[in-house]
Amino acid sequence: MLEVEELHAYYGKSHILQGVTFHVRPGEIVSLLGRNGAGRSTTIKTIMGEVRPAGAIRFKGARIDGLKPHEIARRGLGYVPENRDIFPALTVRENLLLGMKGPRASGRWALEQMYELFPILRERADAPGGVLSGGEQQMLTICRTLMGDPDLVMVDEPTEGLAPRLVDLVRQLLERIAQRGVAILLIEQKLTIALEISHRLYVMGHGRIVFEGTPEALRRDEAVRREWLEV
């Protein structure tokens, strides 16, 4: 579904991504792991068109490198950024409705389903997004992206700063998203969560992929964990 081949990206003269290659199949949860500064967030920003790419990015068989972010989103690629990017002055309901691509009635996700997934959003439906807690804003951002009915969603650090109870809710939601046939590319700092829910994992280091395999393979590879993941 998503194929990234020899991807390079730069911030000014700094060469951040140095030939990144990986793929995500339909319905898969794939985690992109690594220490801060390894290039994980830059990778998904480049895929989403926020950073100028060099290399090939294919989504559902078509090249998307060089397209604008809104053009990429319309093709069915969702993005949940680390900074959440909600509209603080709009209500929770208005934030959710903005996620829709158009006034259609069909799709895998609807407003009522978002409220069922996270009842707190129903309770806060008429409250401005800016008064929500960090965890509630994270729920809102994920659900707003789902309202666009993406075929693949890229999620950047969804559990960062959340209480354990909310971390578990986010984990459950990601699993439910995949069960509905939506592929997920996940950037997650908590290794235990990535190992629990991922079908495959990639580890990044210094702007390159340094490991590809299953959760079980990464559990067995102490050298990779020690060199590229552990602090």
* pLDDT tens figures, 45-74: 999 999 999 999 999 999 999 999 999 999
- Cα separations in angstroms, 228 against 16, 18, 117, 210: 16, 16, 35, 8
Domain at 73, CATH number: 3.40.50.300
Identify the pLDDT of residue 30: 98
What mean pLDDT comes out for the span 85-92?
A: 92
What is the pLDDT confidence band of residue 102, given thresholds at 50, 70 and 90?
A: low
Q: What is the mean pLDDT of the chain?
A: 91
Q: Three-state SS across 103-154?
A: CCCCCCCCHHHHHHHCHHHHHCCCCEHHHCCHHHHHHHHHHHHHCCCCCEEE
CB count within 10 Å of CB 18 equals 14
- What is the residue range of 183's domain? 2-228
Identify the pLDDT of residue 103: 55
What mean pLDDT comes out for the span 193-197?
A: 94
Q: Name the DSSP letter for residue 87.
A: -
How confident is the model over 162-174, as pLDDT tens digits?
A: 888 888 888 888 9
Q: What is the tally of structural domains in the chain?
A: 1
Q: Name the DSSP letter for residue 68.
A: -
Q: Name the DSSP letter for residue 208.
A: E
**pLDDT exceeding 90 applies to what percent of the chain?**
69
Identify the pLDDT of residue 106: 57
Identify the pLDDT of residue 229: 93
